[in-house]
Amino acid sequence: MRHGLAMGALLALLSTTQLACVVGPRFTTCPGEGGRPWVRLDSDHYTLHTDLPAEDARVAMRRLERTRTAILTAMWPQALGQQMTKLDVYVLQSPREFEGLFPRRVRAFFFRSDNEALIVLSGRPDTWRQPFNGFELASSSPLNHELAHYLSAYPLTRQPRWLSEGLAEYLETLRLSDDGRSAVVGAPHRHAIALMHSWLNAVQRGLSQGWTMQRVLHWDRTLEAREKDKEVGANYAGSWLLVHWLLNERPQPFAEYLALLNQGVAPDQALTRALPELTSPSLDGLLYTYLRGRRFMERTVPVPPSGMAFIEEVLDDAQSHAVRARLAALGAHLAHREPFITNRKKVAKTELDEALRLNPTGLLALAAKLRSAPEAEHVAIGRSAVAAHPHESEAWLLLGKALRHELTAAREREAAYREALRLDPRNANAARELAWMFVTQGRNAEALPLARWAVTLAPWSPNALDTLALALAGSGACEEARQVEHRALEFIQEEGAPELERLLRERIAGLEDGRLCTAAPPGA
């Protein structure tokens, strides 16, 4: 997630009529009252929800497809044909509405969980690229930054925070030609350069008050919650500098480091083995010299054509309210303190209630309702989703999840997950849920290919990794199971989930002492 400079505004309290909205906090006028209509565009790689005008929405979709192709071509061409989950993108036309909904200084963000991956942006697509100054072509793009987070997870399955943000900052300055046939990558990030020059100059003069680049390499994940803005800014800028320097000055050791990470080596060990310079006290001086030398190498890469086919649909009022409920819920999740959390939760509930009032069987609204409904209501919600949307993979997934605690409905639950996968083979959640169901039933041979597929589609998912680890353990592949479980643990630690971390540590201990796994005999 990239921090901008805008100060977030409090959500407006708008009194509305009862035609299509209820009285309460809102962040924009609803379509039923003459507000902007929402549209959904579906391509092979994206589902775009936006209140942009129709032509701008089409331009946005084309920009999304071209940027995806350019990033992969420039950095990870081997991943161009890789199977990935479809990415949800939400674009609010008004930057002011975006600022009122999400935490201050956030200009765009990438969010992922076990159940979804999404990007949220604001403004017309021609505003996404922002020049650093009027004297050169170098610019930054929040779309590039957030999309890099998503795409990099496939070729690079393990990423410490400095690497993840450094790659995103590096690719933030990627610049597509007007015809989309070429891209310039490696352009200097002027904001990061200015900030790092200041910080590293202070280190050289002994005025840094203990700050060094080691703070960047060992990113404190509590900084954002504690609103330590200067330190967060230094971490982003320092991460860009590390990646730019490594790619241009140490490409071979950097490639070896990335390979070690993908082989399951712990980040600190991989750093010591492949990039010992990064653990040296001389690192600050090396990077300061690199900055002052201003040899920021750029390269131009040809970009192959992108698929531009997509389906377009105007959303009705109920669907628009459901989308807005999701955005408000994200605002509550990202906020760090009251009263912002409560405010956004209230907006989310108001929007969801209105979506369900207008259409009690809308799929987006039913999915949100299931997350907060009492367990006794889950099955009815799941069955109503399937009845109203029998050709939608997500409806069948909802039913499968709703049946989790129905002990006599195992066959129906399995059939629901299978139908979800038949309708959408790239539904990572359905693959993971069915694999987990098989693991709990001791059907490890059936679980293993499904679990591998779920991890292929969502390599960042701790639950998918945990499911794969237990399926491997049940098949006798103890060492691979242990490595996969360690990957899951890394993601949990990054997000800060102590209960899940404790569970995964118990699993790892069980894999290591033989309680959870007995190695299969050779040749078995």
Cis peptide upstream of residue 339 (ω within 30 degrees of 0):
yes
Distance of CA 212 to the CA centre of its chain: 29
- Give all domains of the chain, ordered by start, each with its CATH number: 375-424 (no CATH), 428-517 (1.25.40.10)
Tens of pLDDT along 322-352? 999 999 999 999 888 888 899 999 999 999 9
Query: Which of 37, 38, 33 minimizes the C-alpha distance to 16?
Result: 33
DSSP string, 188-237: --HHHHHHHHHHHHHHHTT-STT--THHHHT--TTTTTTT-HHHHHHHHH
CB atoms within 10 A of CB 74: 19
Residue 459 backbone phi and psi in degrees, to 5: -65, -10
Residue 92, helix vs strand vs coil: strand
Q: Report the 3 state secondary structure along 446-487.
A: HHHHHHHHHHHHCCCCHHHHHHHHHHHHHCCCHHHHHHHHHH
| Residue 366 token pair | 């039913």
| Residue 19 confidence (pLDDT) | 32
> Which residues, 6 or more positions from 333, have their beta carbon under 8 angstroms from its beta carbon?
111
| Residue 496 confidence (pLDDT) | 66
For the chain, percent of residues with pLDDT exceeding 90? 76
- The strand pair at 39-42 and 311-314 is best described as antiparallel
Tens digits of pLDDT across the chain (524 residues): 543 322 222 222 222 222 333 333 455 666 666 778 999 999 999 999 999 999 999 999 999 999 999 999 999 999 999 999 999 999 999 999 999 899 877 889 999 988 889 999 999 999 999 998 877 788 899 999 999 999 999 999 889 999 999 999 999 999 999 898 999 999 999 999 999 999 999 999 999 889 999 999 999 988 888 888 899 999 999 999 999 999 999 999 999 999 999 887 888 999 999 999 999 999 999 999 999 998 889 999 999 999 889 999 999 999 999 999 999 999 999 888 888 899 999 999 999 999 999 999 999 899 999 988 999 999 999 999 999 999 999 999 999 999 999 989 999 999 999 999 999 999 999 999 999 999 999 999 999 999 999 999 999 999 999 999 999 999 999 999 998 998 898 888 666 678 889 999 999 999 999 999 988 777 65
Beta-bridge partner residues of 183 = 176, 301
Q: Side chain identity at 26, as an amino acid letter?
A: R
- Contact in structure between 394 and 371 (CB atoms under 8 Å): no
Residue 476 region by backbone torsions, left for phi larger than 0, else alpha for psi between -120 and 50, else beta: left
E strand residue ranges, 74-154: 87-92, 106-112, 117-122, 130-131, 139-140
Report the helix count and the strand count for the chain, using DSSP H and E. Answer: 21, 14
E strand residue ranges, 268-402: 299-302, 311-314
| Residue 523 confidence (pLDDT) | 61
Q: Identify the sign of the CA torsion 29, 33, 39, 40.
A: positive
pTM, two decimals, is 0.89
Q: Supply the Cα-derived Rg of the chain in whole angstroms.
A: 24
CB atoms within 10 A of CB 94: 14
Length of the chain: 524
Beta-bridge partner residues of 40 = 49, 313
